[in-house]
């Protein structure tokens, strides 16, 4: 599953003392994003805004931008960064706890849609828009209860508005003509497969249409159906069925409606590899360990997801401690038992000096990690494009 390009770069980095490293295959990212786009080509299929928080690195954004309709940002920091990297991109701005300063920034940087999280936020946005003499287009973010069992992450908590709270927005909107209601936004869960995502889309559309009817909203309507398309860390080859999703969601759309999604993880996760090498191999309390250079301060993903991160061993043929045909636990250099990449994984052979390349490290990896803990060197970053 590792590409020749990434493997060659890994070995070159090892030879040059450049490990650990994040190695990104931009060609693979381009191909994957183009495939996703192609699967969403039918009439009524949703527009795609990439959720920058999954991985906002400039080369990543520049590579995928031609294959998406826009970018979703979730803070003033992301907004400023993405606007600088992609000056012409269509932007949507979501996320809880937006400050006045961030709302002003949204107007200044020509955000196309603000996803409003509460009546109070809408009120402040209305005042800021009024004060600056500008107009702003909004989607109201709803937090539908529903049954989200089995999802990787249910967005329970202060995300968007309960259906009864959202009614408080209608009065604010009616006295704020410079705030234009375009429709409804909902991002309810992460880790859903295509049939579950389609069912959730139907739920959002049914609720959103009824609510917009009730408020007397006429004209074109938009529904942002969120992100959260599943990826399978246990089986990187098992990919979200974009084709089925695209066709089934397109079939739900009605004339005059624009649907939109904002996936992050399922777009960028496959393009990145965290590559490192084995510093030590030993047995402790009956369990074999391979101690790797670096650790979860560079890639917190396996800790936060509580999973075994998928990897391949690239043998280096060095002499030194090794273990064969035993389950091995891969750990990093941190002085904490939580610094684990993968537990008790059956392994043919792993030896000091071997390279280990962790797949699926292109999203929620480096940028969610606590880099400064223990003050080890920062990784090298390589963005390969061929």
Is the preceding omega at residue 150 within 30 degrees of 0, hence cis?
no
Closest distance of CB 260 from ligand PLP, Å: 11
Report d(CA 245, CA 337) in Å as an integer: 40
Smallest gap from Cβ 49 to ligand PLP, in A, equals 8
Nearer to ligand PLP, 51 or 350 (CB): 51
Cα–Cα distance list, 277 to 221, 293, 354 (Å): 52, 6, 6
Nearer residue to ligand PLP within complex by CB, 143 or 347:
143
Nearer to ligand PLP, 185 or 382 (CB): 185
Residues 186 and 46: their CA atoms lie apart, in Å, by 14
Nearer to ligand PLP, 118 or 276 (CB): 118
Q: Give buried/exposed letters for 134-168 (b at 16+ CB in 10 A, else e).
A: eebebbbbbbbeeebeebbebbeeebbbeeeebee
Considering only the stretches 49-57, 118-126, 200-208, 305-313, report the one whose residues sit in contact with ligand PLP under the rule CB under 6 A. 49-57
Q: What is the crossing angle of helices 194-214 and 242-252, to 10°?
A: 20
Binders in 250-269 for ligand PLP, by CB under 6 A:
262-266
Q: Which of 256, 335, 337, 375 is catalytic?
A: 335
Eight-state DSSP code of residue 337: T
Q: Which residues pair with 49 in a beta bridge?
A: 70
Where does the chain have alpha helices with state H? 4-15, 26-39, 58-64, 76-85, 100-108, 119-132, 163-166, 168-174, 194-214, 242-252, 265-268, 301-305
SS3 state of residue 304: helix
Query: Minimum distance from CB of 267 to ligand PLP (Å)?
Result: 8
| 51-59, 214-222, 300-308, 320-328 -> range binding ligand PLP (CB under 6 A) | 51-59
Do 301 and 309 form a contact (C-beta atoms < 8 A)?
yes
Record the tokens describing residue 185, joined without a space.
């936004």
The distance of closest approach from Cβ of residue 9 to ligand PLP in the complex, given in angstroms and rounded to an integer, is 26
Q: List the x/- string, 53-82, binding to ligand PLP by CB under 6 A.
A: xx-----------------x-x--------
How far is 108 from 130, CA to CA, in rounded Å?
A: 13
Among 94, 208, 294, 353, binds ligand PLP (CB under 6 A): 94
Residues 123-142 binding ligand PLP (CB under 6 A) are: none
> Would you say 362 or 379 has its CB closer to ligand PLP?
362
Q: Which residues contact 179 (CB under 8 A, 6 or more apart)?
A: 122, 125, 126, 129, 135, 136, 138, 172, 173
> Which token pair is 192?
């859903």
Instruction: Give the Cα separation of 191 and 193 in Å (integer).
Output: 7
Cβ of residue 239: shortest distance to ligand PLP, in angstroms?
A: 14
Contact (CB, 8 A) for 93 and 115: yes
Whether 169 is a known active-site residue: answer: no
**Considering the rule CB under 6 A, would residue 46 count as an interface residue with ligand PLP?**
no
Report the residue number, 181 or 197, with the smaller CB distance to ligand PLP: 197
Residues of span 158-197 touching ligand PLP by CB under 6 A: 187, 190
Nearer to ligand PLP, 37 or 382 (CB): 37
Return the range that interacts with ligand PLP (CB under 6 A); candidates 50-58, 205-213, 300-308, 315-323: 50-58
The DSSP annotation for 12-58 comes to: HHHHTT--SEEEEEHHHHHHHHHHHHHHT-STTPPEEEEEGGG---H
Q: What number of chain residues touch ligand PLP (CB under 6 A)?
A: 17
Which of 309, 307, 298 has its CA nearest to residue 367? 298
Q: Least distance (Å) from ligand PLP to the CB of residue 244? A: 17
Q: 219-238: which residues touch ligand PLP (CB under 6 A)?
A: 226-229
For ligand PLP, which residue of 14, 51, 89, 360 counts as binding (CB under 6 A)?
51
Considering the complex, what minimum distance in angstroms separates the CB of residue 161 from ligand PLP?
Answer: 13
Closest approach of ligand PLP to the CB of residue 97, in Å: 12
Task: Select 5 or 152, whichever has its Cβ closest to ligand PLP.
Answer: 152
Residues serving a catalytic function are: 335
Residues that bind ligand PLP (CB under 6 A): 51, 53-54, 72, 74, 94, 187, 190, 226-229, 262-266
């Amino acid at each position: 599953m590792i590409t020749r390009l990434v493997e060659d770069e890994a070995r070159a980095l090892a030879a040059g003392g450049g490990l650990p490293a994040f190695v990104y295959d931009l060609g693979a990212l381009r191909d994957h994003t183009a495939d996703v786009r192609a699967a969403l080509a039918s009439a009524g299929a949703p527009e795609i805004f990439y959720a920058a928080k999954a991985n906002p690195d400039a080369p990543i954004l520049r590579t995928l931008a031609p294959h998406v309709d826009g970018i979703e940002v979730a803070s003033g920091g992301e907004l400023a960064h993405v606007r600088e990297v992609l000056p012409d991109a269509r932007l949507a701005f979501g996320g809880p706890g937006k400050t006045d300063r961030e709302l002003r920034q949204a107007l200044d940087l020509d955000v196309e849609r603000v996803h409003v999280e509460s009546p109070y936020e809408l009120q402040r946005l209305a005042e800021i828009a009024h004060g600056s003499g500008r107009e702003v287009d909004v989607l109201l973010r709803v937090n539908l209860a529903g049954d989200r069992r089995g999802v990787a992450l249910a967005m329970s908590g202060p995300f968007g508005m309960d259906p009864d709270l959202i009614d408080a927005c209608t009065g604010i909107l009616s006295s704020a003509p410079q705030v234009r209601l375009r429709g409804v936004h909902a991002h309810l869960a992460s880790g859903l497969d295509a049939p579950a995502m389609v069912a959730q889309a139907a739920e959002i559309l049914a609720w959103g249409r009824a609510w917009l009817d009730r408020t007397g909203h006429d004209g074109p309507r938009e529904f942002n159906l969120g992100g959260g398309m599943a990826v399978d860390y246990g089986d990187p080859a098992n990919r979200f069925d974009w084709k089925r999703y695209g066709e089934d969601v397109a079939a739900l759309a009605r004339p005059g409606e624009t649907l939109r999604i904002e996936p992050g993880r399922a777009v960028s996760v496959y393009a990145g590899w965290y590559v490192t090498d084995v510093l030590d191999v030993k047995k402790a309390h009956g369990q074999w360990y391979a101690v790797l250079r670096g650790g979860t301060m560079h890639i917190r993903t396996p800790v936060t997801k509580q999973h075994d991160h998928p990897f391949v061993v690239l043998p280096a043929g060095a002499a030194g401690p090794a273990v064969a045909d035993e389950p091995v636990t891969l750990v990093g250099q941190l002085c904490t038992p939580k610094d684990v990449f993968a537990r008790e994984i059956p392994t043919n052979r792993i030896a000091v000096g071997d390279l280990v390349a962790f797949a699926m490290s292109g999203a929620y990896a480096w940028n969610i990690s606590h880099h400064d803990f223990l003050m080890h060197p920062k990784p090298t970053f390589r963005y390969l494009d061929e």
